[in-house]
Amino acid sequence: MFNLAHNFYQADKIIIAAPYWDLSFPSILKVYVENICVNGITFCYTENGPKGLCKFTDLMYITTSGGFIAENDFGKDYINGIAKFLGNGNFMDFSAQGLDIFDIDEKNVMHKACSDIARLADGF
């Protein structure tokens, strides 16, 4: 029952990739997060409040969107909050946006996104 939490706890580096849906991400990712947040495995309660127990040094969140997100990426904010709740590693994010805009070359956007992510991964 707690395999996902144990796997997340033990990970050195984590990459989460999900499409941008309805100002956030698909609900199945939320279900995953609910399954990894387990008291005594990925976090614990102290007299000073919750403390993350996870070992990761870096967590990267990658998303794609058909339009432009602007300040409405609540999924990124949520994953960043979970990263802080479960550990104290670095949080990085990347998004490839505008993929469904009529006059945008989505292949070029994705090619640039892959290059940018590869550059980020060098320091990951």
pLDDT of amino acid 23:
95
Could you say which residues of the chain have pLDDT below 70? none
CA–CA separation, 78 vs 73, rounded Å? 9
> Structural domain of residue 40, as residue ranges?
3-122
Confidence (pLDDT) at 123: 73
Domain count, the chain: 1
Residues 6+ apart with CB under 8 A from 2: 38, 41
Q: What is the spatial distance between Cα 80 and Cα 74, in angstroms, rounded to a whole number?
A: 10
Question: Could you tell me the CATH number of the domain that includes residue 17?
Answer: 3.40.50.360
48-81 confidence digits (pLDDT tens): 999 999 999 999 999 999 999 989 999 999 999 9
- pLDDT (0 to 100) of residue 120: 81
pTM, full prediction: 0.90
What is the per-residue pLDDT for 117? Answer: 87
Helices 27-36 and 3-10 cross at an angle (nearest 10°) of 80
